[in-house]
């Protein structure tokens, strides 16, 4: 995103498609220099043309309120879903002894996800 300088968006929302536009993305952030809210809305039409709107201040807030009902998901939600499936990132091993002398080895991550690797015995 660009306002007083280039910076990355704090939140990225993906909006539902309509009859005219596809790939609709709303990016929201705060300018690190002037501390004003900045919203950037990008959408593509089916002919390949791009419509890009960048607003700041109260106009950015009005754009976000206008488009909030069309939000399907956000980038943070997608990242959280990735982290809740299988062990992700740094992993550690966990050995558990069960009844009758049988033990199991698990791969665990620091997000609470575990996956059975193998059963011994």
| pLDDT digits 0-9 by tens, 20-45 | 898 999 999 999 899 899 999 999 99
Based on the domain organization, do 77 and 105 belong to the same domain? no
User: pTM of the full predicted structure?
Assistant: 0.65
Same domain (yes/no): 47, 99 = no
pLDDT at residue 80 is higher than 70: no
Tally of domains within the chain: 2
The mean predicted confidence, pLDDT, of the chain is 85
Contact indicator for 75, 82 with CB cutoff of 8 Å: no
75 with 102, same domain: the answer is: no
Question: What range defines the domain where residue 36 resides?
Answer: 11-81
Residue 75 lies in a domain: yes
The answer to the question of residue 4 being in a domain is no
């Amino acid at each position: 995103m660009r306002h007083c300088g280039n910076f990355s968006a704090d939140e990225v929302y993906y909006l539902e498609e309509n009859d005219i536009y596809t790939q609709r993305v709303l990016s929201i952030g705060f300018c690190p220099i002037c501390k004003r809210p900045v919203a950037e809305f990008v959408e593509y039409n089916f002919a390949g043309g791009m419509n890009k709107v960048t607003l700041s201040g109260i106009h950015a807030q009005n754009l976000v309120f206008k488009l909030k009902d069309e939000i399907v998901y956000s980038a943070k939600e997608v990242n959280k879903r990735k982290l809740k499936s299988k062990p992700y990132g740094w992993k550690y091993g966990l050995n558990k002894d069960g009844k009758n002398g049988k033990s199991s080895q698990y791969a665990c991550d620091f997000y609470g996800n575990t996956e059975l690797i193998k059963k011994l015995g």
